[in-house]
Amino acid sequence: MKSLSQRYEIAEFIKEQYGDDPEYLWVKTPECAVFRHQSNQKWYALIMTVPYNKLGEKSSQAVDIINLKCDHITIGSLLDEKGFYPAYHMNKTHWITVVLDESVDTQKIKALIDISYELTDLKLKKSSADKIICNQ
């Protein structure tokens, strides 16, 4: 299954880049993995498996997704691209959902993870966070 390999590649990247292991917080959804800052405990990524119809598609087939924090201007432009959806189960103004089915290049997802990490870091000043824009 391709999405599983992308899911694990993303988890490996996060471990190597930030030293964070996934946390599995919910008994009812053991496949859901939260990644958060060690310093402030804020989430910057959430990987889970949902049916496509939860994203507004017609299929009920399960798919892995990742929710990432992003600025609202970038979210608006990403929603026009394949594999990007309004945030599932998160604030749609500040978060975006990316499908992990190989429809989005892994390097682009890694860049978005970097942005999400920075946006959720309390040490980052708000004025700096507002200037972060995805390279597309």
pLDDT digits (tens, 9 = 90+) for 2-35: 445 899 999 999 999 999 999 999 888 888 999 9
Label residues 57-89 b or e (16+ Cβ within 10 Å = b): eeeeeebbbbbbbbbeebbeebeeeebbbebbe
| CA atoms of 109 and 93, how far apart (whole Å) | 18
**What domains does the chain contain, in order, with CATH numbers?**
2-130 (3.90.1150.30)
**83: which 2 tokens?**
């594999």
Average pLDDT on 103-130 reads 82
What confidence tens digit (pLDDT) does each residue in 98-108 have? 999 999 999 99
Say what the pTM is: 0.84
The most distant pair of C-alpha atoms in the chain lies apart, rounded to whole Å, by 42
| CA atoms of 64 and 49, how far apart (whole Å) | 4
Q: What pLDDT was estimated at residue 38?
A: 87
Average pLDDT on 116-130 reads 70
